[in-house]
Chains A and B, each alone.
Chain A
């Protein structure tokens, strides 16, 4: 019973273009959302987060958008760089528990 879904297993983008990664959730009680980035043979690292009371949060090249009515969030990376190639997980938080999506593998082509 997947409460957080990432429906695109992979995405390829040219260097310099925008990368858009999407995430959908089902539980309206989630009060916080996060994006993590994961390189092979490493643990996920925190990238950016957004509170459920906001609709946008920006940090440098990374922007997260939240659409609560659609239960949808997205991560925009502009401009995309080859070093951004990794697996990106979205996560939703309620209480002490985190629920993770299945990840999207982003490849940025030089």
Chain B
């Protein structure tokens, strides 16, 4: 049981490049989330999804896009990479039933934009 898997683990981009951060889960999570964590800061919500075909903005969505075509996959897209998007990105999944269900996180993608 792999849980929540993120790829790649590390990436360096040039300003203006685009890329997709992949997230897949095999835990039947209805809810999936993308966060970024900057040094010394907590996790900030970028986008989340409550099910296939449904996505919504979080606290810091600018510069990102998401899609949820299947229950298992929730990719995060950066269209025009900017230095401010240098961060560690975490994907998480969660069961839908009840607000007491914790999130299960992937191991993160460390992204540097130069």
Contact = CB atoms under 8 A, between A and B. Distances in A.
Interface residues of A, number: 27
A100 to B, nearest CB: 4
A51 interface: yes
B42 A96 contact: no
Interface string B88-101: 00101000000110
B102 A46 contact: yes
A46 B48 contact: no
B99 to A, nearest CB: 5
Interface in B26-84: 31, 33, 35, 40-45, 48, 50, 58
A97 interface: yes
B100 A32 contact: yes
Contacts of B58: 97
B20 interface: no
Contacts, number: 55
Nearest to B98: A32
Contact of B42 (A41, A43, A97, A102): A102
B107 A95 contact: no
B40 A9 contact: yes
Contacts of B48: 96-97
28 contacts: A6-B42, A31-B99, A32-B99, A36-B105, A41-B107, A41-B108, A42-B108, A43-B4, A43-B90, A43-B92, A43-B105, A43-B106, A43-B107, A45-B105, A46-B102, A46-B103, A46-B104, A49-B100, A51-B100, A89-B42, A89-B43, A93-B99, A97-B45, A98-B33, A98-B45, A98-B103, A100-B42, A103-B42
Interface of A: 2, 4, 6, 9, 31-32, 34, 36, 41-46, 49, 51, 89, 93-98, 100-103
Given A34-B102, A97-B48, A103-B42, 20 more contacts: A2-B42, A9-B40, A32-B100, A36-B102, A42-B107, A42-B108, A43-B4, A43-B107, A44-B43, A44-B90, A45-B105, A46-B104, A93-B99, A96-B48, A96-B50, A98-B43, A98-B45, A100-B35, A100-B44, A102-B42
